[in-house]
Amino acid sequence: MATKREKGDSAKRAHRLIRFYPMSWRERYGDEFAAHMEQEIEDTPKSPSRTLNVMMKGLYTRAKNFTWRVIFMQPGDGKFQAGVLIPIAVIVGIAVTSFSGWPINGHKAWPAEVLIGVLFAFVVFGVIHDSHRIRTYGPAKRFSKDRLIPVAVILISTLPIIFHNEIGHTTLLLYVVLSLDLILFAYKFGWVGRRLSSINGPSTPVVRGNTKL
Amino acid sequence: MTVGKRSTSFGHNAGTVTLILSSLAGGEKHGYSLVKDVEEFAGVHIAPGTLYEAIARLEKQKLIEPVESDDRRRPYRLTAEGATALANQLRAQRRATDVGLKRLDRGWTIA
């Protein structure tokens, strides 16, 4: 029989894992899935394969939802178009530009250049968006926040290339800057930011006209 | 061999789907009791992510439907269409099983 504290822990862990799923899915299945997960966690407290299964299925559902929404985009879905397609176009544009005008160590490290170009574009978009937040573009806001995943994936995937000295000092410096952005991002949206704001009190919202941003 | 049209739509998760529908054929169940039932009759543990991926798909295909409940754990039941699809799938599996067993009987000595 699980104690009250163990039940609380399993509920916390279940809710943490459910966040891998998209909002629309959580609205429909979230509650029952949480109840199911809590019972599973009480039965088997530690199961890396279960965690991996939920993470993979959650990310797969996110990708599927996003793809379907883009494919079956309705003409009236203007906010979604503006919020997702424009950032994607900007990111691809900056990535292609940075790749074409950025020859580092010949052609040896070209996949890294493209990856870092994409990473750079993600960061540029994120920083611009964070500083000029447009309230109506909800998808853009989520897209900006979601840049953490691609940025982290690219950082990790290009690390072996850095360690094999296939990238020059300029790229390395850029890499450091991008890593700093990740840290700032974690500060702004992650637990560090929440913890600091709980110590310092909530930040004052910026007010532009009558709209609280 | 002609397989029922609905059974082919079980797709790459045919095994999991067959187990879930077979379990619900015995009566309505929520996720956890369904997993325990499948464990009991098939010796297979369905991971939560896989289970809910299949449930969502089956519900969309109208092969199962949710039952109103005050509990957080929502039960599901098999629909008439789901029962037909399951029957087709099991018949197809039985045909494959029969062929396999007959061929093994003819040419193999099983220890």
What token pair was written down for A125?
């978009």
Within 10 Å of residue A195's Cβ, how many Cβ atoms? 11
Residues A82 and A152 in one domain: yes
**pTM for the structure as a whole:** 0.58
A36 and chain B in contact, CB less than 8 A? yes
Distance from CA of B46 to the nearest CA of A (A): 10
**Is A49 in contact with B32 (Cβ distance < 8 A)?**
no
Residues A10 and A97 in one domain: no
**Given A15, A37, A72, which residue is the final one in a domain?**
A72
Predicted local confidence at residue A24, as pLDDT? 85
Q: Is ipTM strictly over 0.95?
A: no
Query: In the structure, what pLDDT confidence band is assigned to residue B52 with cuts at 50, 70 and 90?
Result: very high
Q: Which residues of chain A have pLDDT under 50?
A: 104-105, 108-109, 133-137, 140, 192-193, 196-197, 199-213
**Given A51, A72, A93, which residue is the final one in a domain?**
A72
A3 and chain B in contact, CB less than 8 A? no
Residues A12 and A37 in one domain: yes
A48-71 helix and A23-43 helix, angle to the nearest 10 degrees: 170
**Given A41, A72, A103, which residue is the final one in a domain?**
A72
CA distance readout (Å), B77 to A22, B29, B68:
25, 7, 11
Predicted local confidence at residue A187, as pLDDT? 57
Residues A125 and A192 in one domain: yes
Predicted local confidence at residue A124, as pLDDT? 61
Query: In the structure, what pLDDT confidence band is assigned to residue B34 with cuts at 50, 70 and 90?
Result: very high
Predicted local confidence at residue B43, as pLDDT? 93
Question: How many domains, in total, are found in chain A?
Answer: 2
User: What's the rounded Cα separation, in Å, for the pair A139 and A128?
Assistant: 15
Residue to mutate among A29, A51, A56, with most B CBs inside 10 A, is: A29
Q: What is the pLDDT of residues A17-70, one digit of tens each?
A: 888 888 888 989 999 999 999 999 988 888 889 998 998 888 888 777 766 665
DSSP string across A35-93:
HHHHHHHHHSS--HHHHHHHHHHHHHHHHHHHHHHHHT--TT-HHHIIIIIHHHHHHHH
User: What's the rounded Cα separation, in Å, for the pair A155 and B4?
Assistant: 49
User: What's the rounded Cα separation, in Å, for the pair A74 and A132?
Assistant: 27
